[in-house]
Chain A
Amino acid sequence: MNELTGMSIFAPLLLSVQLALVTTVVLILTGTPIAWWLSQTSSRFKPAAQAIVAMPIVLPPTVIGFYLLILLGPNGAIGSWWVQMTGSALTFSFSGLVIASCVYSLPFAVQPLQSAFESLPRQMLEFAWTQGASKLDAFFAVAVPMSFRGFIGAAVLAFAHTLGEFGVVLMVGGNIPGETRVISIAIYDQVETLNYGAAHQMSLLLLMFAFVVLFGMFVVNRRWSTR
Chain B
Amino acid sequence: MTRMVSITPDATVSLKHALRRSGFQLSVDVQIPATGITGLFGESGSGKTSLLRCIAGLEEDMSHDTRRPHERGIGYVFQEPQLFAHLDVRRNIEFGLRRSKVPKVDQQQVVEMLGLRDLLSRKPDGLSGGEAQRVAIAAVLLRSPQLVLMDEPLASLDQRRKDELLPYLDRLHDELSVPMIYVSHSIDEVSRLCDYLLLIDSGKIVASGELHEMLSRLDLPMLSGSNAGSVIDAKPWRYDRDFDLTRCNFSGGELIVPGRYDSVAGSVRLRIAAKDVSICLSRPDDTTILNVIAAEIDDLQSSGPSSVLVRLVSGTDYLLALVTRRSASRLDLKKGDQVFAQVKSVTVRR
B82 touches A132 (CB 8 A): no
B75 CB–A CB distance under 8 Å: yes
A130 touches B75 (CB 8 A): yes
B161 CB to closest chain A CB (Å) equals 20
List the A side residues contacting B95 at CB < 8 Å. 128, 131, 133, 141
Q: Please, what's the 1-or-0 string for B80-106, where 1 marks a CB less than 8 Å from any CB in chain A?
A: 101011100000000110011000000
Closest to B140 in A: A131
B76 touches A127 (CB 8 A): yes
Closest to A134 in B: B70
A123, A127, A133, A138 — which one has the most chain B CB atoms within 10 A of its CB? Answer: A127
Alpha-carbon separation in the docked complex, A131 to B74 (Å): 8
Total contacting residues, chain A, CB less than 8 A = 20
- Which applies to chain A's interface (DSSP): helix, strand, loop or mixed? helix
In the complex with contacts A130-B56, A132-B99, A123-B143 CB distance below 8 A:
no
B209 CB–A CB distance under 8 Å: no
Closest to A132 in B: B99
Within 8 A of A (CB), among B99-143: 99-100, 136, 139-140, 143
List the A side residues contacting B84 at CB < 8 Å. 124, 128, 142, 146
A75 CB to closest chain B CB (Å) equals 48
In the complex with contacts A134-B68, A134-B70, A137-B99, A129-B82 CB distance below 8 A:
no
List the A side residues contacting B136 at CB < 8 Å. 127
Alpha-carbon separation in the docked complex, A135 to B100 (Å): 15
List the A side residues contacting B56 at CB < 8 Å. 126, 130
List the B side residues contacting A146 at CB < 8 Å. 84-86
List the B side residues contacting A135 at CB < 8 Å. 68
List the B side residues contacting A142 at CB < 8 Å. 84
Alpha-carbon separation in the docked complex, A130 to B100 (Å): 11
Within 8 A of A (CB), among B136-156: 136, 139-140, 143
Closest to B96 in A: A131
A123 touches B78 (CB 8 A): yes
A87 CB–B CB distance under 8 Å: no
Alpha-carbon separation in the docked complex, A130 to B140 (Å): 9
List the A side residues contacting B68 at CB < 8 Å. 129, 134-135
List the A side residues contacting B139 at CB < 8 Å. 131
B258 CB–A CB distance under 8 Å: no
B252 CB–A CB distance under 8 Å: no
B82 touches A127 (CB 8 A): yes
In the complex with contacts A132-B99, A134-B68, A127-B143 CB distance below 8 A:
no
B51 CB to closest chain A CB (Å) equals 15
List the A side residues contacting B143 at CB < 8 Å. 131-132
B58 CB–A CB distance under 8 Å: yes
B69 CB–A CB distance under 8 Å: yes
Contact among B82, B86, B99 with A133 in the assembled complex (CB-CB below 8 Å): B99
A40 CB to closest chain B CB (Å) equals 14
Closest to B74 in A: A130
A145 touches B86 (CB 8 A): yes
Binding site for B on A (CB under 8 A): 121, 123-124, 126-135, 137-138, 141-142, 145-146, 148
Would you give 25 A-B contacts (Cβ < 8 Å), ordered by A? A121-B82, A124-B84, A126-B56, A126-B76, A127-B76, A129-B68, A129-B69, A130-B57, A130-B72, A130-B74, A130-B140, A131-B75, A131-B95, A131-B139, A131-B140, A131-B143, A132-B70, A132-B143, A133-B95, A133-B99, A134-B70, A137-B99, A142-B84, A146-B84, A146-B86
